[in-house]
Amino acid sequence: MKILNLLLMLMLAPSLLFAQLIELSEFPKRLQLYPRNSQDSGTVVISGLVLEAGHTSASVKVRRNSAPLVHVSVPLVYMGDSASFSFSVKIHSELSLYKFELLVDSLVSATADSVVSGDAYIMDGQSNSVGSGNWYYTSPWIRSFGDNYNWSANPDSALRADTVWSIATTCLKNQIGSIAMSLAKNIIEKDSIPICIINGGVSATVIESHLPSTNPTSIYQRLYYRVIHADLKDNIIGAFWHQGESDTWSASGYRIKFCQIYDAWMGDYPGIQKVYVFQIRTITCGGAQQQILREQQRIIPEARPNISLMTGTLDLGSDGCHYNSEGYRTMGNWLYGLVARDYYHSVDTVYITPPNIREAFFSNIGKTVLTLQFDQPVIPSDTGMCRYFSLDNVWDVADSIQSDSSTYCLTLYLKSPSNATRISYIPNSTYSTTGTLYNGPWLRNPRGIGALTFYDFPITSGATIVKQKKTIPESGLTASPNPFNPYVLLTLPDRDVDIRGDFSLKIFNAAGRMVADLSRAVKEGSAIWHSQGQPSGIYVARISSGSHHWRRTIVLIK
């Protein structure tokens, strides 16, 4: 027994010595992610005090993927029996693991391995925000911090111990869910940036339970606490929200409540540049106001312009409430398109957003033809799609449907004239004939992303669609760059263009409405259109000169 006690004392002696030798103010933790700055690097600060006199230097050794990278040393200058030290080391944001060693003279006094630099996000919501669909995936480049609220049997007692960096998982402790994991997987594979996602989602919660609160055991404060102790408060760059199923019994005011959460995020996480909100799909675990809830979600960006929407519609392996692994991963893949556009300079930006309705109007005097204008092409999954639009909440009013990709229009041919003032796309939750969960047909864009559903969308008095693709050949007029943001250079064709007489150069949106007149802006055969104030989408630049006409389709991507 004496020998055993002696061995234990010898084993503990170094750690006791280190504890007495130094006092750390700042030092990296194992698995920590340092936020990436504009120079694609993170700054690791190491500082503290040597508490024992007689030592001459403090130094830091840094290894990158086990290979020596940096060794810096400073002399110790004592004030009494202690001497301070401070180091600042930059690490590149890449798929590399960094190890730090702090030495006093030649004695290793502190270590931290598997440190990275990258980007940090938060996610919140209810069960689908943290759902896994039984997909098990981890990566050394995808991190999280602290345990999700769901894993704390006693949140009050667990709160102050929730401060550990970890490799993120989809469904165990340190879970971030499969949507977030799929997104992060895309980023590390395509952009080579390590990622931290801290997910505060809690199953079966209404939006009120996520509202800003000063209660330390609230959902809001639990997430905020984890972010603060990860030293990421000012460096969360984006937020994701998937919630609403539990609010489909009483959906009015949902948009206002989410804006309260959004406003609090903007104050507490000042680094957030974009927020991404999922519109939920039809569910069996919800109430009678699913259409209202989805519409509330669809119009959220009208109040907060830096919010982007994504959809959970289409047949994504839903069981009526949750999704299988393929469904969650598909939503993460779709979400990556938006995040890559906003943060990682992606040029793959065509049709990455869910189609959204812009206008509805009768396009003939007899009011038997109803045109729906979207912000991009929409494709019905089959001809039976016409049955799943309602006019003033009356369903099955059309007997055929036609899609025109050149004008982003769907045309419904009604069974009889109508004076309806409102139109909706897809029922509340079930087919009227069978009472089973509605699971298609759906509208989607050419990329396969489902259209946002809409409810009681107003039918306007009318509009005229300029179907220019069918009447004017696209030739001669050139545009550069195309796609563009925020401006495009339009160059006139050489032949037969006289800008002195009956000449015009105008820009039309997809609804055929003129948004800019550049007729007097042409200089030396070209003009620049600045798109300030216009939304992303396809536009048409049109030249008329006497009997000659030219057009060019241009794409604005913001």
Kindly report the CATH number assigned to the domain that includes residue 73: 2.60.40.10
332 shares a domain with 391: no
* Same domain (yes/no): 451, 508: no
Neighbouring C-alpha atoms within 13 Å toward the C-beta of 213 = 14
Question: Is 5 part of a structural domain of the chain?
Answer: no
pLDDT tens digits for range 399-433:
999 999 888 999 999 999 999 999 999 999 999 99
- Residue at a domain's end among 93, 116, 139: 116
- Domain-located, residue 326: yes
What are the pLDDT digits (tens) for 114-167? Answer: 999 999 999 999 999 999 999 999 999 999 999 876 555 555 555 555 789 999
Kindly state whether residues 299 and 381 are assigned to the same domain.
no
DSSP 3-state assignment of 376? coil
Pick the residue with more confidence: 501 or 146? 146
What is the phi/psi pair of residue 196, to 5°?
-120, 130
Report the DSSP beta bridge partners of residue 519. Answer: none
State how far the Cα of 216 lies from the Cα of 224, in Å rounded to an integer: 9
464 domain-assigned = no
Residue 472 has pLDDT above 90, yes or no: no
Residue 164 belongs to domain spanning: 118-343
470 pLDDT exceeds 60?
no
Instruction: Classify burial at 90, counting beta carbons within 10 Å of its beta carbon; exposed 0-12, middle 13-18, buried 19 or more.
Output: middle
Give Cα separations from 279 to 62, 378, 558 (angstroms): 45, 17, 21
For all residues of the chain together, what is the average pLDDT? Answer: 90
Could you tell me the pLDDT band of residue 505, with boundaries at 50, 70 and 90?
A: confident
Domain harbouring 493, CATH code: 2.60.40.3080
* Type and span of the H or E element at 345: none
Q: Could you tell me the end-to-end alpha-carbon distance of the chain, in angstroms, rounded to an integer? A: 73
Number of domains forming the structure of the chain: 4
Specify the pLDDT at position 234: 98
DSSP assignment of 449-501, as one string?
PBPPP-SSEEPBS------HHHHS---S-EEESSSBSSEEEEE--STT--SSS
Q: Token pair for residue 546? A: 């006497």
Q: Which tens digit of pLDDT belongs to each residue from 374-402?
A: 999 999 999 999 999 999 999 999 999 99
Same domain, residue pair 288 and 198: yes
Domain boundary among 116, 143, 167: 116
* Inside any domain, residue 500: yes
Q: Do 112 and 132 belong together in one domain?
A: no
pLDDT of residue 10: 38
Better-scored residue on pLDDT, 296 or 474:
296
- Residue 226 forms part of a structural domain: yes
Mark whether 451 and 520 lie in a shared domain.
no
Distance of CA 382 to the CA centre of its chain: 30
The CATH number given to whatever domain includes residue 173 is: 3.40.50.1110
Whether 349 maps to a domain, the answer reads no
Q: Which of 557, 546, 555, 558 is nearest to 507 (CA)?
A: 555
The number of residues in the chain equals 558
Same domain, 395 and 252: no
pLDDT tens digits, residue range 170-221? 988 889 999 999 999 999 999 999 999 999 999 999 999 999 999 998 999 9
User: Residue 528 and residue 526: Cα distance in Å, rounded?
Assistant: 7
Same domain (yes/no): 188, 237: yes
| pLDDT of amino acid 159 | 54
The two three-digit tokens of residue 121, written as one number: 């996000």
Task: Show the tokens assigned to 238.
Answer: 């984006």
More confident residue, 230 or 15: 230
| Distances, alpha carbon 163 to alpha carbons 11, 146, 152, 524, in Å | 27, 5, 13, 64
Beta bridge partners of 48: 24, 85
Q: What's the pTM?
A: 0.82
